[in-house]
Chain A
Amino acid sequence: MDQAKLSEMLRQRLSDAVVSVEDMKNDDTLVVVDKDSLVSVAEFLKNDRDLGFTTLMNHLGVDYRDRMAVIYNLYSARLRKKVTIKAYLDREKPEAPTLEPLFPGVSWYERETYDLFGIRFIGHGNLKRLLLPEDWEGFPLRKDYVYPESYNGIETKRSDLLDAAGAAGDAHV
Chain B
Amino acid sequence: MQRALRGMPMSKYSSQEMVLNMGPHHPSTHGVLRFVLQTDGEMMVKAVPDVGFLHRGIEKIAERVPWQAFMPYTDRIDYVASVNCNLGYAAAVERLAGIAVPEKAEYLRVIAAELSRIGSHFIGFGALLLDLGAVTPFVHALRERETFNDLMEMLCGARLTHNYVRIGGVSHDLPPGFREKCLGFVDHLEHEFLEEFNDLISFNTILINRLANVGVIDPETANKYTLTGPNLRGSGVPFDLRRDEPYSVYDRFRFDIPVGTGKFGVPGDCYDRYWVRILEVTESCRIIRQALEQMPGDGGIRTSLPRPFTVPAGEIYVRTESPRGELGYYLISDGGKNPFRVKVRTGSFSAMTIVETISQGVMVADLVAIIGSLDVVAPEIDR
Contact = CB atoms under 8 A, between A and B. Distances in A.
Q: How large, as a class, is the contact surface on chain B?
A: 35 or more
B353 interface: yes
A141 B317 CA distance: 19
A103 B225 CA distance: 7
A24 interface: yes
A153 interface: no
Interface bracket on A:
35 or more
A84 interface: yes
A94 interface: no
Cβ-closest 6 pairs across A and B:
A131-B52, A60-B343, A105-B225, A131-B55, A58-B345, A105-B226
15 contacts: A24-B315, A25-B96, A26-B316, A30-B315, A55-B226, A57-B317, A58-B330, A60-B341, A103-B224, A104-B225, A108-B352, A131-B51, A131-B383, A132-B55, A173-B68
B328 A58 contact: yes
B255 to A, nearest CB: 19
B41 interface: no
Nearest to B383: A131
Contact of B353 (A60, A107, A133, A140): A107
A26 B328 contact: no
Interface string B37-59: 00000000000000110010101
A130 B96 contact: no
B326 A57 contact: yes
A147 B99 CA distance: 35
A20 interface: no
Interface in B291-348: 314-319, 326, 328, 330, 332, 338, 341, 343, 345
Interface string B217-250: 0000001111000000000000100001100000
A80 B319 CA distance: 13
Interface string A139-154: 0110001000000000
Contacts of A80: 244-245
B279 to A, nearest CB: 22
